[in-house]
């Protein structure tokens, strides 16, 4: 049993947290929405007011926020309350948000500069699949870090794709995945239009 933190407890983050809780981990969360924090508390999760507070209680931290601006807010906002103010060599940070390759690489490098370990690991699949450990994860980062976090990653995902050791490549793979999904939607719409004018 280990303590695992989630910064971002929206639909995906909360479902992933529930999955790891079911696997026997102690879960800590931090979210900007008080209702999400209340839900987490009702599920038995420990709630923290800032990323720094969460980091003081967890060595494995997943960042599952909405976009790049929120990722940067997690890293820097509030100065003493930010994630970067609290992490060190004992921490492993997994970035799961869908952001640009440049933003993913920047976030991971910020963590590495604090002597912590990081993975660029965006996710695909909805909350229902996340709660069952059936999401897809596209992982980029040092192989040693991927190996160190293999157990937690496998509990979250039954479709792990190790893309490369270069930060940003996980985000690139996710963007390609999104483009292919969009192409399929357009193709399906065109096929329907052709068959049922």
pLDDT at residue 190 above 60? no
130-163 pLDDT, tens digit per residue, is: 999 999 999 999 999 999 999 999 999 999 999 9
Give the pLDDT band (50/70/90) at residue 178: low
159 near 134, Cβ under 8 Å? yes
40, two tokens: 């987490």
74 near 106, Cβ under 8 Å? no
Secondary structure letter of residue 190 according to DSSP: H
108, two tokens: 């991971």
65, two tokens: 């926020």
Secondary structure letter of residue 124 according to DSSP: E
Give the pLDDT band (50/70/90) at residue 78: confident
4-53 pLDDT, tens digit per residue, is: 999 999 999 999 999 999 999 999 999 999 999 999 999 999 999 999 99
Cα–Cα nearest to 57, from 25, 16, 92, 28 = 28
Quick one: what percent of the chain has pLDDT higher than 90?
86
- The structural domains of the chain, with segments of one domain joined by +, span 3-195
Residues annotated as part of the active site:
174
pLDDT at residue 192 above 90? no
pLDDT for 77 equals 81
The alpha helices in 1-142, defined as continuous H runs, are 11-22, 34-42, 51-55, 68-76, 101-112, 127-131
pLDDT at residue 181 above 70? no
Helix or strand holding residue 6 (H, E): strand 3-7
Give the pLDDT band (50/70/90) at residue 194: low
Give the pLDDT band (50/70/90) at residue 175: confident
Which CATH fold would you assign to the domain 3-195? Answer: Rossmann fold (3.40.50)
159 near 184, Cβ under 8 Å? no
């Amino acid at each position: 049993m280990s303590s695992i933190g989630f910064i971002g407890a929206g639909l995906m983050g909360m479902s992933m947290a529930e999955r790891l809780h079911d696997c026997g981990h102690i879960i800590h969360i931090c979210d900007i929405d008080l209702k999400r924090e209340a839900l987490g508390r009702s599920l038995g999760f420990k709630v923290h007011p800032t990323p720094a507070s969460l980091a003081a209680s967890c060595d494995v931290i997943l960042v599952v926020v909405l976009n790049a601006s929120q990722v940067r807010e997690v890293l820097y906002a509030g100065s003493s309350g930010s994630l970067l103010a609290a992490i060190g060599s004992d921490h492993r940070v997994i970035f799961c948000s869908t952001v640009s390759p440049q933003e993913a690489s920047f976030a991971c490098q910020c963590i590495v500069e604090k002597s912590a370990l990081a993975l660029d690991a965006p996710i695909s699949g909805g909350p229902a699949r996340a709660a069952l450990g059936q999401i897809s994860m596209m992982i980029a980062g040092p192989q040693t870090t991927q190996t160190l976090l293999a157990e937690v990653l496998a509990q979250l995902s039954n479709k792990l794709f190790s893309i490369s050791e270069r930060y940003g490549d996980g985000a690139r793979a996710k963007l390609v995945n999104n483009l292919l999904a969009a192409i399929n939607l357009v193709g399906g719409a065109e096929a329907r239009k052709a068959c049922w004018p």
